[in-house]
A = this chain, B = another copy of it.
Amino acid sequence: RRSHPLSMPLMPLLRRLPAAALQLRFLQLPQAAPAVAASARHQRKSLSTSATTGPSAQPTSPAGLQATVDVDSRVLTLHGAAADDQAGVATLNFPLAWLRDNCRCSLCHNSNSDSRQLLMNDFDPTAALTEATVEAGQLQLLWADGHRGCYPLDWLRARHFTEDGQVPPDLRLSKSIPRLWRDWPFRPDFLDGQAVMSDDAALLELLQRLELDGLVLLDNFGTDEDSLSRLCHRVAYPRRTHYGVIFRVESKPGPSNLAYTTGRLGFHTDLPYFEHQPDIQLLHCIRQTRTVPGGENSFADGFSAAELLRDRRPEQFHLLATALTNFRDRNSDDLDKFHLLQRHPVLELGRGGQVRRIHLSNQQRDSVLRLPLGRVQAYYEALKEFNDLLYDPGHSLQLRLKDGQLAVFENGRVLHSRTAYQGERLFMGAYLSWDETLSRRRVLQGL
């Protein structure tokens, strides 16, 4: 691609002169010829700026403001339009197709639903531009078909393109990068459950910690069996599964799930036999068994353990990240009879190679294991090694929740286990999804 050398130094005029009305006028392009027509290739339009004569126009200093369009690459470049805080940004580049696609006029963009109204059927990715004007903080475009578009410059500044990609949006929009437990090390304190229910700042703290640490503990949450549902609805709504909307974790006759016995459970994630295993789990201790010891919960940062495995046994890490494990649940519960099946890698990697979700449940791992004969022994040794690493005290902890305490944890990151117990014990359980939970956090932050 050809570069766009700046003919004049960066002049961030527009931010300093909000009332200024500047006009950048292009040479008129032939209306009938699309901008990429062969005859127009390798032609570049370069224009100087001029102040408008409208009544609201202030005296301006247009020197340095310049717009060009590269007809070959179909990119419009604004020179001197960067904001004061965009140090090092000499030019703002916008593909013409993107500009047409993201026209902010009331025909193309519905402000009630804040969504694009322009249909793809009516969109021409090769639409030619006739004229560009900057006036009162808006870029206004006239397209060859007569359509007029407008774009607030502040809105454009946050979306300009570089050779590497569009500028990143506000980082707070994304899920936070996990703080691995062994790196600091992590030892949780308790947040106040009543504050979380009544104070938005306390709820925001819970959600932010959950993103970072994968585990948040609450006390002073009471022992009302309905409180957990209220907390879920304060965030968004619980994710229903075949075990119900809110489920009772207690010893049951003819248990449909090993969690509903008094037996010991090893470190596991819940419900890995879903295509999308529950993201977040909440366990509310209504009544802890009075028989000591017994009923203790342990939590382990599986991301931390996985990174240890990646360091120490890269071939085992690779195996668990690529081999598919079958998970299965076939029984009866809230959803009458069910038979759920899915295959996942134990370590699901994101596009950047980071571990983004763990699927592991010894009790729900299927006897179906579709690996070649020669890989089975190595697979089991990797499973065993990862399980051993989970118990490393650098990223695991045991605690005995008391009546009125609550654990909220990222199911696909922080694996949980339970010691066997005797006596009466009741926890209420529920699931949340990241999508709605992150949505709630963004709204609390005013994003």
Contacts and interface: CB of A to CB of B under 8 A. Distances in A.
Given A116-B363, A120-B387, A164-B372, 5 more contacts: A73-B373, A115-B364, A117-B258, A237-B240, A335-B439
Contact of A165 (B112, B363, B371): B371
B117 A363 contact: yes
28 contacts: A73-B377, A95-B380, A97-B377, A110-B255, A110-B363, A113-B256, A113-B258, A115-B364, A116-B363, A119-B362, A123-B380, A123-B384, A125-B381, A161-B371, A161-B372, A165-B370, A169-B368, A240-B240, A242-B436, A273-B435, A275-B276, A275-B435, A276-B276, A338-B439, A339-B439, A339-B447, A340-B438, A341-B438
Please name the 5 residue pairs, one residue from A and one from B, whose CB atoms are nearest each other, closest first. Answer: A125-B380, A95-B376, A97-B380, A276-B276, A339-B442
B116 A362 contact: yes
Given A383-B120, A435-B342, A113 B257 contact: yes
Given A236-B335, A380-B97, A383-B120, A367 B159 contact: yes
Given A110-B258, A362-B116, A436 B373 contact: no
Given A125-B380, A159-B367, A380-B97, A337 B443 contact: yes
A191 to B, nearest CB: 23
Q: How large is the interface on A (under 10, 10 to 19, 20 to 34, 35 or more residues)?
A: 35 or more
A56 interface: no
Given A266-B120, A363-B117, A376 B276 contact: no
